[in-house]
């Protein structure tokens, strides 16, 4: 092997970060065999073992650590050069990749993109639906140009971010639930009923936990017997009478309009939850930079919708 390819280096860095060939393959959207081939090709080129297997996965060797530092520089400098070349072009084109969590991905990004494409018809978008943490990890791994998320906790120093919308946490109950007659509910009332939660890496879940913590209310008092992986599945479960839940007001408004659930405001929920667009701190391609400036001026309108009467 006389040359090495950029995708080999990207595969290598992904294995370093995930410490797993199989996990790296999933993130890269390829097979474990392809990942193994890329690593084997690099080891043949450098005539050195880059990983050693342990009980907890794979770890880089001394040679691997040396390559990691160099590979990161090569890929970053190549990206910077690409950004400079792209910035010289007058017409915007190309594809922007956004990793998006449920609420911004389903309720904000579509209208944001529609507004941008009215001015820039040559730009295409690829949206990858993930939870907030996975979206930020994709951005960190350079698998996305932007991340649209409901939380940036733990990543504030790693990325630049702007607010693209806001919402409040609200309680949703089945339309025939005994709480449905109320318009306002207190936290201690919520603990009386079976509660449906989002998965641990969900931005909504993290905001709920922070909300309870700020109000000095123990999460252990919730009767959380069911955990689901999306807001839509939570809404469905609530509408079927399997429990109550706290979700985004943006998603709740639409489900209430469809007659699926009833929204109740939570007395202690006085601060709106912000939704963010995050980007790397390094320079982007011109198309992405123009999109970023558009996002700064974007104003999302979350209009309240009245619940369908019985």
pLDDT single digits (tens) 89-105: 557 889 999 999 988 99
Say whether both 160 and 279 belong to one domain.
Answer: yes
DSSP string, 26-72: HHHTS-HHHHHHHHHHHHHHHTS--EEEETTEEEE-HHHHHHHHHHH
Please check whether residues 125 and 250 belong to one and the same domain: no
Q: With contact defined as beta carbons under 8 Å apart, do 239 and 260 qualify? A: yes
Pairing of strands 57-60, 51-54: antiparallel
- For the chain, the domain total comes to 3
**Does some domain include residue 285?**
yes
Rg of the chain on CA atoms, in Å: 23
pLDDT class of 167 with cuts at 50, 70, 90: confident
> Of 61, 87, 113, which residue constitutes the final position of a domain?
87
Residues 252 and 175 reside in one and the same domain: yes
> pLDDT class for 137, splitting at 50, 70, 90?
very high
Residues 244 and 206 in one domain: yes
Kindly report the CATH number assigned to the domain that includes residue 24: 1.10.10.10
Q: How confident is the model over 38-72, as pLDDT tens digits?
A: 999 999 999 999 999 888 889 999 999 999 999 99
Please tell me the pTM assigned to this model.
0.58
197 with 255, same domain: the answer is yes
Kindly state whether residue 108 falls inside one of the protein's structural domains.
yes
Q: How is residue 282 annotated by DSSP?
A: S
The Cα–Cα gap between 3 and 272 comes to 53
- Average pLDDT, whole number, for the chain? 89
Residues 74 and 107 in one domain: no
Answer yes or no: do 175 and 262 share one domain: yes
Same domain, residue pair 257 and 292: no
Do residue 78 and residue 61 come from a single domain?
A: yes
Domain that holds residue 144: 94-166+273-297
């Amino acid at each position: 092997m006389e040359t090495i390819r950029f995708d080999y280096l990207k595969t290598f860095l992904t294995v370093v970060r995930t410490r797993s060939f199989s996990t790296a393959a999933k993130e890269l959207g390829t097979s474990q065999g392809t990942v193994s081939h890329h690593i084997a090709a690099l080891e043949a080129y450098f005539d050195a073992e880059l990983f050693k297997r342990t009980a907890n996965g794979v770890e880089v060797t001394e040679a691997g650590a040396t390559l990691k530092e160099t590979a990161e520089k090569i890929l970053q400098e190549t990206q910077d050069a690409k950004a400079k070349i792209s910035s010289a072009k007058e017409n915007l084109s190309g594809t922007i990749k956004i990793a998006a969590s449920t609420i911004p991905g389903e309720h904000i990004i579509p209208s944001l993109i529609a507004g941008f494409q009215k001015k820039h018809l040559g730009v295409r978008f690829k949206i990858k639906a993930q939870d907030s943490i996975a979206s930020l990890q994709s951005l960190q791994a350079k698998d996305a140009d932007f991340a649209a998320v409901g939380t940036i906790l733990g990543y504030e120093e790693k990325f630049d971010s702007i607010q693209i919308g806001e919402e409040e946490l609200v309680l949703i109950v089945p339309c025939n639930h005994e709480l449905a007659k109320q318009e306002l509910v207190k936290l201690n009332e919520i603990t009386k009923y079976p509660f449906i939660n989002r998965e641990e890496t969900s931005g909504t879940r993290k905001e709920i936990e922070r909300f309870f913590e700020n109000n000095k209310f123990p999460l252990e008092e919730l009767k959380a017997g069911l955990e689901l992986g999306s807001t839509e599945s939570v809404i469905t479960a609530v509408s079927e009478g399997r429990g109550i839940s706290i979700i985004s007001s943006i998603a709740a408004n639409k489900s209430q309009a469809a007659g699926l659930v009833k929204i109740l405001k939570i007395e202690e929920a006085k601060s709106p939850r912000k939704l963010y667009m995050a980007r790397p701190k390094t320079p982007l391609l011109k198309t992405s930079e123009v999109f970023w400036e558009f996002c700064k001026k974007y104003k999302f309108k979350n209009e309240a919708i009245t619940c369908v009467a019985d």
